[in-house]
Amino acid sequence: MSLVQKLRKKSARIGIVGLGYVGIPLALRFTGAGFGVVGFDIDPDRVKSLNAGRSPIRHIPPAEIAGMVEKGFAATGDFARIAEVDAIVICVPTPLGRHREPDLSFIVGTMKSIAPHLREGQILSLESTTYPGTTAEVLLPFVRERGLEVGKNFHLVYSPEREDPGNKQFNTRSIPKIVGGMTPACRDAGQALYEGAIDKVVPVSSTQVAELTKLLENIHRSVNIGLVNEMKTIADKMGIDIFEVIEAAATKPFGFTPFYPGPGLGGHCIPIDPFYLTWKAREYELNTQFIELAGDVNRNMPNWVVEKIATALNDREKALKGSRILALGIAYKRDVDDMRESPSVRVMELLRDRGAQVEYSDTQVPVFPKMREHHFDLSSVRLTPKAVASYDCVVLLTDHSDFPYEMILKHAKLLVDTRGKYRKPNAKVVKA
């Protein structure tokens, strides 16, 4: 039986490499669609947790993980088992290096682990966000070293992840899937792979098109968020409520899509992905000035927020140094526990560097996690009237839906709002 036939009959086994915010939802979807799924991860604690039916991601209920295990899902750190599966889907991080250059070490490390176990009749799909050309330049040589012929006895595709953690309107199944192949046969196999689990699959002509599509999607968001963040600073100087402006503009039924300002950009995609394209563009002697300017605006927002806090304290005859400040919400977006590239953490660091005593409260993040570049030895503060009143300033950074907003407003001495949650005029509220 051919690979495409196996995929269409759902007799193919799927291997998911990288069991994080992308890999786990994908494993849940393929398992729910009736495929046998094996998960691969280098973290033994995560492997153990998943096999025990526990969820390492707060917004994914443990019952869903337990149900997946009951259907036959198994996680492992043994990459020799790659030979057992028919489809391999790579969902590993692609961060930036120290000089904001692409860091493909996780992709390369994954390929080194799985390459010895690749065989004829498999399909390999890369979902990690990256620059155009990665599939051909990085993955293809590993496949060829095994003596496999892409498009004939082995298939290679790129299909960018489009996960949005915590989004209740769209999920892995309902978000259309882009698929580009190294050859037309590869593309057809990729389409067969994802059509078994995703409602709509959108084939494109090449892996490069698929790779650039993902970058365009996130650059579109980065540029527009940069625009409204810059507009926010202008509106602030003019004494205008930027959120009222956005709401009014959004009534136009064409030509305008609302984006909302905040303390900066967070998540693994939007703050990082644009720089994958700017780096690659230099190979063609091109400068991506527009994209980089938006990145500069967004990266500067935590500094702007800290200056607003300092000014607000100064107006109340308080110095920033020595003040007790509560960061309200430190995950990068509402109602998730994802801390990747969170601008809230940068705000906390800037405040700490200037001598403030910083603590945080976040219902999604009970203990400040271990992070590669950031460290705070803190646990989430329980929000009570007494606790809120004890701080010189409370700064709203991430607007989780379960915060007691009215109580916070009533008892806070000073409330700096970066999310437009407190719209009514109030002497103790400063908009940032």
Q: How far, in whole angstroms, is CA 33 from its chain's centroid?
A: 24
269 as an active site residue: the answer is: yes
Question: Rounded to whole angstroms, what are the CA distances from 182 to 106, 156, 179?
Answer: 21, 6, 10
> Do 411 and 385 meet the contact criterion of CB atoms below 8 Å apart?
yes
Pairing of strands 122-126, 154-158: parallel
DSSP one-letter code for 188: H
The amino acid at residue 402 is D
Torsion angle of C-alpha atoms 137, 141, 142, 143, degrees rounded to 10: 110
Strand order in the sheet with 13-17: 74-76, 36-40, 13-17, 87-90, 122-126, 154-158, 177-181, 201-204
Helices (H) and strands (E) in the chain, counts: 15, 13
Q: Kindly report the number of other CB atoms within 10 A of residue 288's CB atom.
A: 18
Q: Taking each helix axis as running N to C, give the angle between helix 207-238 and helix 273-282, from 0 to 180 degrees, rounded to the nearest 10.
A: 120
The amino acid at residue 377 is D
N-term to C-term CA, the chain: 61
Q: Taking each helix axis as running N to C, give the angle between helix 23-32 and helix 62-70, from 0 to 180 degrees, rounded to the nearest 10.
A: 50
User: Which residues lie closer than 8 Å to 348 by C-beta, 6 or more apart?
Assistant: 327, 330, 358, 360, 376
User: Which residues lie closer than 8 Å to 384 by C-beta, 6 or more apart?
Assistant: none
Give dist(CA 350, CA 353) in Å, integer.
5
Q: Which of 91, 186, 269, 393 is catalytic?
A: 269
Consecutive H or E run containing 92: none
* Backbone φ and ψ of 137, nearest 5°: -85, -30
Give dist(CA 68, CA 214) in Å, integer.
28
**Residues with active-site annotation:** 269
